[in-house]
């Protein structure tokens, strides 16, 4: 079979290889490669399409068909960058309508159904662009593949597998609620929220830091790379406060070489933060990210800003990557890390939210988009425009369990009458998301 290496895809001008999905452009045709059919061992045809899907970056879609035995197969492989953190989607499937949710599952993702004690390990299936029902059908097909041989060689095992296949098929009837978990250390999997832009109570999205073993599986760390990272000296940290550091990286959009600048900044009446900005000379993409310069606070912080004047749009806002954004009047909630850590204005934050929900939504274009969904999201975008124009009386709530977010107090050092700051004790689930439950802060040196 033909293999496309990453070097072939990532060369100069690679942004021209991956085009947006569109029904237009008759000159953009899949690449056809003659390859071996693994069913009848005669030659069939593989078609490759290099395209872009928002939230999933660049992908390679392949489709194989054999004219001799009519066997066919489709796969999807991520050609984009591995995200900074892994992602875990937990979906409570309650109705048959939930089975129609669209799913992007990369080959590094683990799929679990706890009620059946069923798990599909990573790298045992190719990536897929499918639905929940499609994932169940694919699991059933995989289990049925060698059943004929098993019935002849080991009838007892074959009978047990038949019973399990029956349980999987029963899930499609949704006679009782079940849970589907997709955990992807590469961060390149996605589960549709049909209620967007509103919060989906049935879907929980959490980010996590990859383990060393997961980094090795993704090729980010060598198998023998077990050395501990040295902590920076105090003098080095002091030097960082006085200069802008630059290091080489790749553009998150076109993957071309780019430079990232980093600077420690002291925010008045708050704390020290790290601001990182990337500017790509190849495609013009610009991005900035903010990380806390200190540790996690003892208590979480909930900041509520009442918008009473268009000038509120110019307030500085520091949204950490652990902060969620809520607009109660719109019944809208944006989970943590959805737009990453940002140091911007309130207007800039609202524009990022609008772009994320509408412009970068993979289900707003093509066959996935329905007229009702498009109208609903367009109405949400119009409401965001009214908020930025000062035509709606709303509240913006920043809820940060780590306590590292901030909204500018224009009356400082006096209290701001439009800002309410509430400190609260984190729940066990919030500490789990922040990785604090497993953190050992006493006697850790004894284990060395």
Cα separation of 114 and 102, whole Å?
A: 21
Residue 440: the pLDDT is 63
Alpha helical stretches, state H, 56-199 = 132-144, 147-153, 155-171
* DSSP 8-state class, residue 262: E
Q: 207 has which bridge partners?
A: 87
How many CB atoms sit inside 10 A of residue 11's CB? 9
Cα separation of 228 and 25, whole Å?
A: 51
Residue 78: the pLDDT is 67
User: Which of 346, 417, 359 minimizes the C-alpha distance to 387?
Assistant: 346
Return the percentage of the chain with pLDDT > 90, whole number.
27
Q: Would you call 399 helix, strand, or coil by DSSP? A: strand
pLDDT tier for residue 61 given thresholds of 50, 70 and 90: confident
Does the structure show a pLDDT above 70 at 415?
yes
pLDDT tier for residue 68 given thresholds of 50, 70 and 90: very high
Residue 2: the pLDDT is 38
338-373 tens-digit pLDDT = 777 888 899 999 998 888 877 666 566 555 567 777
Does the structure show a pLDDT above 50 at 5?
no
Question: Which has the higher per-residue pLDDT, 445 or 287?
Answer: 287
* Per-position DSSP letters for 62-94, written without gaps between them: EEEE-TTT--EEEEEEE-SPPPSSEEEEEEEE-
Does the structure show a pLDDT above 90 at 305?
yes
109-137 tens-digit pLDDT = 999 999 999 999 988 887 787 899 999 99
Q: 335 has which bridge partners?
A: none
pLDDT tier for residue 417 given thresholds of 50, 70 and 90: very high
* DSSP 8-state class, residue 177: -
- And the tokens for 381? 């975008």
Least confident piece of the model among 37-51, 231-245, 256-270: 231-245
Strand order in the sheet with 128-131: 128-131, 102-105, 190-191
The matching CATH number, chosen from 2.60.40.1930, 3.40.50.620, 2.60.120.1040, 3.40.1260.10, for 297-365+373-437 is 2.60.120.1040
Residue 104: the pLDDT is 84
Largest interatomic CA distance in the chain: 82
- Residue environment code for 144-177, b if the CB has 16+ CB neighbours within 10 A, otherwise e: eeeeeebeeeeeeebeebeebbeebeebeeeeee
Q: 413 has which bridge partners?
A: none
- Residue environment code for 377-408, b if the CB has 16+ CB neighbours within 10 A, otherwise e: beebbebbeebbeeeeebebbbbbbbbbbbbb
- Average pLDDT value for residue range 271-293: 80
* Angle, in degrees to the nearest 10, between helices 155-171 and 132-144: 170
Return the percentage of the chain with pLDDT > 70, whole number.
80
Which residues lie closer than 8 Å to 195 by C-beta, 6 or more apart?
A: none
Cα separation of 342 and 149, whole Å?
A: 57
Average pLDDT, rounded, for the chain: 81
378-399 tens-digit pLDDT = 888 899 999 999 899 999 999 9
Domain with CATH 2.20.25.420 in the chain: 19-78, 237-294
Which residues lie closer than 8 Å to 321 by C-beta, 6 or more apart?
A: 289, 290, 291, 336, 337, 340, 341
Contact 303, 401 (CB under 8 A): no
Residue 182: the pLDDT is 94
Q: Would you call 263 helix, strand, or coil by DSSP? A: strand
- And the tokens for 422? 């509430």
Q: How many CA atoms lie within 13 A of 318 on its CB side?
A: 23
Query: For the whole prediction, is pTM greater than 0.75?
Result: no
- Average pLDDT value for residue range 145-165: 89
Domain with CATH 2.60.120.1040 in the chain: 86-218, 297-365+373-437
- Average pLDDT value for residue range 77-96: 84
Sequence-distant contacts of 348-354: CB under 8 A, at least 24 apart: 348/317, 349/317, 349/319, 349/325, 350/313, 350/384, 350/387, 350/388, 351/388, 353/325, 353/384, 354/381, 354/384, 354/385
* DSSP 8-state class, residue 341: S
Residue 291: the pLDDT is 75
Gap between the terminal Cα atoms of the chain: 49
User: What is the dihedral sign for C-alpha 88, 93, 99, 100?
Assistant: negative
The matching CATH number, chosen from 1.20.950.20, 2.120.10.30, 1.25.60.10, 2.20.25.420, for 237-294 is 2.20.25.420
- And the tokens for 396? 């913006």
CATH architecture group of domain 86-218 = Sandwich (2.60)
Question: Which has the higher per-residue pLDDT, 288 or 235?
Answer: 288
Strand order in the sheet with 272-279: 245-250, 257-266, 272-279, 286-292
Question: Which has the higher per-residue pLDDT, 400 or 10?
Answer: 400
Residue 381: the pLDDT is 87
Length of the chain: 448
The matching CATH number, chosen from 3.30.200.20, 3.40.640.10, 3.40.920.10, 2.20.25.420, for 19-78 is 2.20.25.420
pLDDT tier for residue 327 given thresholds of 50, 70 and 90: very high
Least confident piece of the model among 174-178, 273-277, 411-415: 273-277
């Amino acid at each position: 079979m033909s293999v496309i290496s990453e070097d072939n895809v990532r060369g100069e001008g690679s942004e021209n290889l991956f085009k947006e999905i569109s029904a237009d452009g008759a000159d953009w045709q899949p690449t056809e490669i003659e390859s071996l059919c693994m069913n009848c061992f005669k030659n069939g045809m593989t078609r490759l399409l290099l395209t872009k899907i928002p939230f999933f970056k660049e992908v390679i879609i392949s489709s194989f068909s054999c004219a001799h035995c009519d066997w066919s197969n489709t796969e999807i492989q991520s050609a984009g960058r591995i995200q900074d953190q892994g992602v875990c989607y937990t979906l409570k499937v309650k109705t048959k309508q939930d089975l129609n949710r669209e799913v992007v599952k990369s080959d590094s993702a683990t799929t679990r159904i706890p009620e059946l004690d069923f798990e599909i390990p990573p790298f045992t299936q190719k990536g897929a662009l499918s639905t929940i029902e499609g994932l169940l059908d694919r699991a059933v097909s995989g289990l049925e593949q060698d059943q004929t041989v098993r019935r002849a060689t080991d009838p007892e095992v074959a009978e047990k597998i038949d019973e399990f296949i029956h349980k999987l098929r029963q899930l499609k009837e949704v006679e009782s609620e079940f849970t589907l978990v997709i955990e992807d250390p590469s961060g390149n999997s996605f589960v549709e929220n049909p209620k967007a832009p509103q919060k989906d109570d049935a879907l929980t999205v959490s980010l996590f830091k990859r383990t060393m073993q997961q980094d090795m599986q993704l090729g980010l760390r060598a198998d023998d790379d077990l050395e501990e990272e040295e902590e920076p000296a105090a003098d080095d940290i002091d030097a960082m406060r006085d200069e802008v550091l630059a290091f080489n990286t790749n553009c998150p959009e076109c993957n071309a070489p780019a430079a990232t600048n980093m600077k420690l900044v002291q925010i008045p009446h708050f704390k020290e933060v790290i601001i990182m900005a990337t500017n790509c000379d190849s495609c013009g993409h610009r991005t900035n990210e903010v990380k806390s310069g200190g540790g996690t606070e003892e208590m979480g912080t909930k900041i509520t800003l009442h918008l009473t004047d268009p000038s509120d749009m110019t307030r500085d806002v520091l949204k950490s990557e652990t902060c969620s954004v809520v607009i109660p009047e719109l019944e809208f909630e944006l989970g943590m890390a959805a737009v990453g850590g940002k140091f911007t204005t309130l207007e800039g934050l609202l524009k990022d939210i609008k772009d994320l929900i509408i412009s970068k939504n993979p289900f707003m274009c093509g066959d996935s988009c329905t007229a009702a969904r498009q109208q609903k999201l367009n109405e949400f975008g119009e409401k965001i425009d009214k908020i930025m124009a000062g035509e709606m009386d709303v509240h913006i709530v920043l809820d940060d369990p780590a306590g590292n977010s901030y909204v500018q107090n224009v009356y400082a050092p006096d209290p701001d009458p439009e800002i309410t700051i509430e400190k609260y004790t984190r729940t066990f689930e919030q500490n789990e998301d922040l990785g604090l439950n497993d953190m050992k802060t006493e006697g850790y040196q004894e284990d060395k």
